[in-house]
Structure 1
Amino acid sequence: MSKEIYLDGNATTCVLPAAIDAAVQAMRDCFGNPSSTHATGLQAKAMMDSVRQRAKRLLGVGNGRIMFNSGATEGIQTAVLSALCALRERRERGEAIGSLLVYGATEHKAVPEALAHWNRLLGLGLELKKLPVDADGRHDLAALRALAPQAAFVCTMAANNETGVVSDLVGIGATLVGSKALWMVDCVQGLGKLPLDLGNTRIDYAPFSGHKLYAPKGIGMLYVREGAPYTALVMGGGQEAGLRSGTENMAGIAALGAVLAALEEGGTFRSPTELYGFREKLATSLRAAFPGIVFNAPFDKALPTTLNFSVPGLSSKELLDVFDAANVRVSAGSACSAAKAAPSYVLDAMGLPAWRSSSAVRMSFGPLAGEEIIDEACTRIERCGQALRNAGLMDTPVSGTVVPEGLLQLSLAGNHTWLLLDAPSRQCIVIDHQAELGERIDSLLHSHGYKVSARLSTRDGGAETDSFVFGAHTVRRAALDSSHTGYLLCSGDKVDYAFTGLAALSGLAGKLPADALVCAGREEVNACCTSLRAEAQGSMAGADLNLDSIALARLLEAHPQAVLVDVRETYEQAACIPGGRAAESVPLSRLAAFVPGWLDAVDQPPLVFFCRSGNRSAKAAQCLRRLGYRNAYSLGGGIALASPALALAA
């Protein structure tokens, strides 16, 4: 398997080797409780105090306080609770506190969620107010100036986690001069990337998280300005001078100390000049790989370690899939919300077009990145671009590649569009066209020289003619009910495929052959294809459908004739670094075209489907099982969880 190129540093980082060593030493040799008064405890306390002092020097906290905690979320909660408790006390004393809890429109969701939570629990009834940002992603200082007189608490960030845009903290501080509002700055993405001199600002609270800069998860810090109000989030044994109870995470603190030492002493992390050079290399390769690419944040106002981009005509999922196939790890926006498949609220707040916010990809690296890794990443980026071009997804003429033919399934939001492709004539029939897929279909057909000969809909009266010849087949119209039309793809008198947009197949008995493969127009009917006979018999999935690595190894040993089937799309397969076990290429979008051959085979060897995560392969295996192919399996968890010993192409 090819070496992983990790370019998702804004989500988390690996742990610095020196930090691992420090954590191990703390657990092995400096394991005392720093609250204990004996020598072992005093040794632990001395280590913790030395890390705290180093943090104070690096962050320029002056007379402010640094306390250790579990990370940024706890730090944000603590800062918000502290500010809001102080506001409630001031109001109870009859003081004017303002009516607004102001937060940047591009803040991490942890901030507005914490504001809403504590505002409700404390019964303050203050209004949460988004502070808009400009097209570059920076806070609108004119809007802040207008809000400042009524602001009780202001929350901004040092640098944005999705775009890398660096906030104008000096400008924000100047705008708040004369305001009584408390101010929190999320510094999570700033540690080690931005100069911070907190004691010389009016910032009241600044949370940090160690795992964003090569320390382990579960360790962080909170800066509190001298004189800023404070309320402990966790009460108990009085640790951290009573500011944060709970026995300290000594291994985490020691590891964080090693990272801070590397920052303070120099020589470990790359200089800003080197980081800017790395970003430019990546940007150059991205431009070469994806003509028309748009970067969603200006480089001159962003961290040198972050690139956020969109490619016309390509979804973020397609880009993530092809990068992942090449073992390049990137993400779609914030890791905390990437799984929700929603447009980026950060890019929406910047006023960017919907296609950019819904298809954005974030590529980020840390200051430990090396030139060799960046160069290899550039090579793989260009490989990914070529793979997508060869697949016909970038609307450029394709030559020297296999021409798609037969049946192709395109899905969006639970609906299926089917393409019938006749390679000799370069003609295509589109069934149940979705407008949102129009650009994708046009690009695919144009790239391979296809022309649309007919557009058929199963949701209206359908074609004017009852039947017509298409290549070696005949397409026949079939009335299914008063509002739905079906289409049959026939070889002579045999119905090979039936296309229907009905929400259920139960009423089709007698209207379609029992063994014809039914290609539905909706996900809830079937993810790939089925038949009336299969629907009548019910599912044959079985408990053994999903194989883990051990079960797969045993199956391959017991059945040497077993066939591994890669159901990733062709561009993912093309982006893979050559190597690994031989596998048959059957993208899930082409599965229906291969099903008849498998079902008609005299010998039905075990088929083991695999993909990146196991989701698509499970659909393929379920489809075959349902149709009666008992020896169909899915690699559970996909390549991501497969044992390296299996050496699947990845």
Structure 2
Amino acid sequence: MSDLLLSTDSTSQIYLDANATTPVLPCIAEVVSHTMQICFGNPSSSHITGIQAKHLLEQTRNRARAVIGAHDGDILFTSGATEGIQTAVVSTLIAAKNHSIDKPVLLYGATEHKAVPNTLIHWNEVLGINAQVLAIPVSSEGILDLDFIAQHADKALMICTMAVNNETGVYQDLTAIEAVIRAKNTDVAWMVDCVQALGKTALELSTTTIDYAPFSGHKLYAPKGIGVLYIRQGSAYTPFIAGGGQESGMRSGTENLPGIAGLNKLFNLLLDETDDTFKPLSVLHDYREKLHNALQYTFGQLTFNHKFENSVPTTLNFSVNELSSKEVMDLFDAAGIRISGGSACSSGASRSFVLDAMGKSNWQSENALRLSFGPATTQTDINFACERIRSLKSILQANCLIVSDSESPQQEACALGLTQYRHQGACCWLYVTSQHQAVIIDPIAELLPRLEKIVTTQKLQVVAILDTHAHQDRMSSVELFKASLSAHLNFCGSDQLGWPADGSVIELMQTTLERLATPGHSVDSLSYLLRCNKTKKVLYCFCGDLLLPAGLGNTCLQGGDAMQMADSLNKLQQRLSPDSIICSGHDYQQCFAITWQAQIQQTPLLADLVKNHITMNEFTRKKQTSDIEDKGKFENLCGYATQVDTASPLQVDVAHAKNLLSNTNAYLIDTREPYEHGANDLPSLFDISKLRVINIPLSRMANALSDGQLSKSQCYILLCRSGNRSKQAAVNLAQLGFEQVYNLNGGMALV
């Protein structure tokens, strides 16, 4: 049976996130459904239907023993691995309450699933054990430090390790770990998380001294909500769930018989040597090599975060050199390829704690990607996945995400005008004229590879690389950018902030860039004003951290001065138009685009100053007071912004959106990046003309406002991958006075 949902159209799903969960095999789903409808008896009932259910339950237990090599000890049905971990930890710690060990410790592998250390910490505190919880270090390859285990094992109440890591696929040498543990402590409880090992490595638990081993069904094609816990004979045990006495009093509650039936079928497949559902290791290694080759073809240089020789073949953890994990994941998702960044249980995190523990670089930890498939994957699945991955190369080339290997690439096109690039709340701005002149403002070192590709592939002439001030939160990257882009520079010499030495202004075809001293956030702060030569109006104000969307810069940092800030803001009031776009050095609230008028409306202290409701002295006093009050709250951020009260945008589902597009003159705005937009045929999906679909990513929203691409009297439906980015864009547009803006709830995920 296939892991992947195959179809010939480009929107079909290719699922490569099996370490997070797997689809239920049809043959298993059929058994589960049959059990729910026909064999639905309660195993505790004494009539024939109950006896049949009890037989199924015990048959499954025996098959579990055969699969994991547990000829003695207990096999306990649980709701999954997390319950199994809780049960093992609670049983161990309750049995250890009266220990006589001086300065006891609880050990766990530094790369364990968070369920393990969090459980240890929780029950250690609740039960009053007061042991020190220690992480066992790992090598750069993710292998546990055996010397550390040997050093602490004699004081340990419990040692927790894992068979196979869920993020990297790295497997541990359980025999070597066991030898070290038992040489130092024959009695300590040892739990091994075997969730990712089932179906991928051979297990003979009865030949080991492992005390507890949790398993979870949904990681190997069975339903969610069912798992088993192996408990070695004689190991401590306290029921985690008490009640009616089911499972021989070890785990009360009516058993999840449909889930157990699913496990029964799964175990039968694993034990049946004539069945070819689960592929041998040699085939899985071949699959990995094919995926590896496809990734290299598409992205070029990759950095793998684990060694293939000491990891299971079903997991590839890697980073794409010079691309962020978000860019790759968004592209894959738009193309119907499902992968993850690190662990699904930690998807909200900005970096991988597993790779941190392995000593990988910040860049690797922040940009790790995990591609994983299950052992039931077919050759057809892999071929189709590789074909889809390879097809993305042209999209990457077209959007300057990789350098084209063609002498005359046909699809590459430069985004003229203004584009915002972001790194952890900091903003870098690229302005490009129709003659391919380029200005980079507030360069960020981490974004150099991305911008270098754009400049190189588009043959841009860089006429200036500017800092708005000597940033207090990072080193200047002007010289770094100049060195890397030296072949494309069209200016000679510059001052400390990058302004070319040969002019008071920078002429850019129909526009002119001039500088204005605007101290306040720092002594040397400048604002760069881009004027239209024809109208003399300021289109963009690059103000660094003097202003942040809906906020003001921090004056508590070195060089800050509230009185100077007041004077600078008054200068801007004299020079800016209400619709001039404010381009800040940081955007912590992800506003992306804000006009001078909206900035005033959303920043009360600024409004009071420029409307002459308060004097500069009053502004200074209030600003100093607020900065001191906010200093502890925001630490060393370059500015603060109070959350603006804005009504949530109107949400529409797919049916409502299609109705609006069919019966009104509404436009569909795709707020994803062009490389995501290009992976879908939105006009066909919504049955509308191509002219009614606009791609305005958040990075280009400021440019769209300045160019007049959007009308406040027009109706717009915004979408993105999940509905989050488009919701943010809808909020921003509402703050700018757009009244007919809808957000597609759930985004492309629900289309």
Q: TM-score, normalised by structure 1?
A: 0.92
SS in 2 for 1:455: strand
Per the alignment, do residues 165 and 453 of structure 1 end up closer, same or farther by CA in structure 2, a change over 3 Å counting?
A: same
Q: Which residue of 2 aligns with 1:155?
A: 160
Whole-angstrom distance in 2 between the partners of 1:615 and 1:274: 40
Distance of 1:207 and 1:321 partners within structure 2: 34
Aligned-partner residue type, residue 542 of structure 2: F
Matches within 5 A, 1:127-166: 127-166=132-171
User: How far apart are 1:118 and its partner, in Å?
Assistant: 1.3
Secondary structure at 1:518's aligned position in 2?
Answer: strand
Aligned residues: 634
Q: Which residue of 2 aligns with 1:224?
A: 231
**Secondary structure of the residue that 1:310 maps to in structure 2?**
strand
Partner of residue 59, structure 1: 68
Question: Hey, what's the Cα distance between the residues in 2 that align with 1:605 and 1:443?
Answer: 36
Aligned match for 2:425, one of 401, 405, 414: 414
Q: Partners of 2:579 and 2:356 in 1: how far apart?
A: 48
Moved more, 56-65 or 220-229: 56-65
Match of 1:473 in 2: 511
What is residue 267 of structure 2 aligned with on the other side? 260
CA change 1:540–1:334 in 2 (3 A) is closer
- Paired residues of 2:650 and 2:743 also in contact (CA < 8 A): yes
Structure 2, unaligned runs of 5 or more: 1-9, 471-495, 553-568, 603-643
Aligned to 1:556: 661
> Residues 285 and 397 from structure 1, CA distance in 2 versus in 1: closer, same or farther, beyond 3 angstroms?
closer
Contact 1:500 1:520 in 2 (8 A): yes
Are 1:185 and 2:192 matched, yes or no? yes
CA 1:524–1:347: 2 relative to 1, 3 Å: closer
Alignment match, 1:31: 40
Map 1:134-533; keep pairs closer than 5 Å. Answer: 134-178=139-183, 179=185, 180-265=187-272, 266-341=275-350, 343-395=351-403, 399-400=409-410, 401-424=412-435, 426-459=436-469, 463=499, 466-482=504-520, 483=522, 484-492=525-533, 493-501=536-544, 502-503=547-548, 504=551, 509-524=573-588, 527-533=591-597
- C-alpha distance in 2 between matches for 1:248 and 1:12: 22
1:543–1:616: structure 2 CA closer, same or farther, 3 Å change rule?
closer
Q: Residue 257 of structure 1: SS of its match in structure 2?
A: helix
Distance in 2 between the 1:358 and 1:120 partners? 32
Inter-partner Cα distance in structure 2 for 1:566 and 1:196: 49
What is the CA-CA distance between 1:533 and the residue it aligns to?
Answer: 2.9
Query: How many angstroms does 1:451 deviate by?
Result: 3.8
CA drift at 1:396: 5.5
Q: What SS does structure 2 have at the residue aligned with 1:355?
A: helix
**Equivalence for 2:695:** 585
Give the superposition deviation at 1:615: 2.0
Contact 1:133 1:350 in 2 (8 A): yes
Unaligned regions of 5+ residues in structure 1, if any? 643-650
Q: What is the deviation of 1:468? A: 2.5
Question: 1:18 touches 1:259 (CA, 8 Å); kept in 2?
Answer: no
| 1:540, distance to aligned residue in structure 2 (A) | 10
Task: Give the C-alpha shift of residue 302 in structure 1.
Answer: 1.0
Between stretches 606-615 and 537-546, larger displacement belongs to 537-546
Measured after TM superposition, the shift of residue 471 of structure 1 is: 2.2
- Structure 1 residue 64, shift from structure 2 partner: 1.0
Please give the alpha-carbon distance, in whole angstroms, between the structure 2 residues aligned to 1:548 and 1:496. 36
Match of 1:612 in 2: 721
Counterpart Cα distance in 1 of 2:517 and 2:362:
39
Q: What are the superposed Cα offsets for residues 488-517 of structure 1, whole Å, 9 maximum, x if unpaired?
A: 221121222222231337865444211222
The one-letter amino acid paired with 1:490 is R
Q: State how far apart, in whole Å, the 1-side matches of 2:645 and 2:654 are.
A: 22
Identical amino acids, percent of aligned pairs: 43
CA-atom RMSD in angstroms: 2.4
Rounded Cα–Cα distance in structure 2 between residues aligned with 1:319 and 1:383: 14
Which stretch has the larger CA shift, 479-488 or 127-136?
479-488
Amino acid at match of 1:553: K
Q: Of residues 637, 653, 674 in structure 2, which corresponds to 1:570? A: 674
Mapped to 1, the partners of 2:749 and 2:725 lie a distance apart of 13
Deviating more after overlay: 511-520 vs 211-220: 511-520
Is the CA contact (8 Å cut-off) linking 2:42 and 2:53 kept in structure 1? yes
Change (3 A) 1:81 1:403: same
**8 Å CA contact 1:403, 1:423 repeated in 2:** no
CA contact (8 A) 1:208 1:221 kept: yes
Query: What is the letter of the counterpart of residue 705 of structure 2?
Result: V
Query: Residues 98 and 220 (structure 1 numbering): CA distance in 2 closer, same or farther, change over 3 Å?
Result: farther
Deviation at 1:53, TM superposition (A): 1.1
Q: Would you say 1:622 and 2:629 are equivalent positions? A: no
- Cα distance between partner residues in 1 of 2:463 and 2:651: 41
1:542: Cα distance to partner?
Answer: 5.1
Contact 1:520 1:526 in 2 (8 A): no
1:619 Cα deviation from its structure 2 partner: 2.8
Matches of 2:404 and 2:188, distance apart in 1 = 55
- Structure 1 residue 256: Cα displacement: 1.6
Q: CA deviation at 1:587?
A: 2.3
Does structure 2 retain, via aligned residues, the 8 Å contact 1:475–1:488? yes
The answer to whether the 8 Å contact 2:325/2:366 transfers is: yes
Superposition deviation, residue 164 in structure 1:
0.5
Corresponding residue for residue 52 of structure 2: 43
CA change 1:542–1:352 in 2 (3 A) is closer
Distance 1:256 1:600, change over 3 A: closer
Distance 1:525 1:81 in 2: 42
**TM superposition score normalised by structure 2:** 0.80
CA distance in 1, matches of 2:745, 2:504: 45
Aligned to 2:130: 125
**Secondary structure in structure 1 of the residue aligned to 2:94:** helix
Note closer, same or farther for the CA distance 1:406–1:192 as it changes in structure 2 (3 Å cut).
same
Q: CA deviation at 1:443?
A: 2.9
Is the alpha carbon distance of 1:626 and 1:120 closer, same or farther for their aligned partners in structure 2, counting shifts above 3 Å? closer
For the residue of structure 2 that corresponds to 1:82, the secondary structure is helix
C-alpha separation between the residues in 1 aligned to 2:118 and 2:261? 31
Q: Is the 8 A contact 1:408 1:590 kept in 2?
A: yes
Please tell me the residue identity of whatever aligns with 2:163: A
1:543–1:181 distance in 2 versus 1, CA, 3 Å: closer
- Does the 8 Å CA contact 1:233/1:244 hold for their aligned counterparts? yes
Deviations 1:373-395 (A, max 9, x none): 21111122223344223322335
Between 1:548-557 and 1:107-116, the stretch displaced more is: 548-557
Partner Cα separation in structure 1 for residue 387 and residue 710 of structure 2: 43
Could you tell me how far 1:518 is from its partner in structure 2? Answer: 2.4
Q: What's 2:746 paired with?
A: 637
Give the structure 2 partner of residue 645 of structure 1.
Answer: none
Q: Which has the higher contact order (CA 8 A, sep 6+)?
A: 1
Residues 203 and 225 of structure 1 are in contact (CA less than 8 Å); yes or no, is this contact kept in structure 2?
yes
Partner Cα separation in structure 2 for residue 273 and residue 32 of structure 1: 42
Distance 2:106 2:364 in 1: 29
Q: Is the CA contact 1:97–1:152 (under 8 Å) kept in the aligned structure 2?
A: no
Distance 2:105 2:588 in 1: 46
**Per the alignment, in what secondary structure is the counterpart of residue 144 of structure 2?**
coil
2:344 alignment partner, SS class: coil
What SS is found at the alignment partner of 1:177? helix
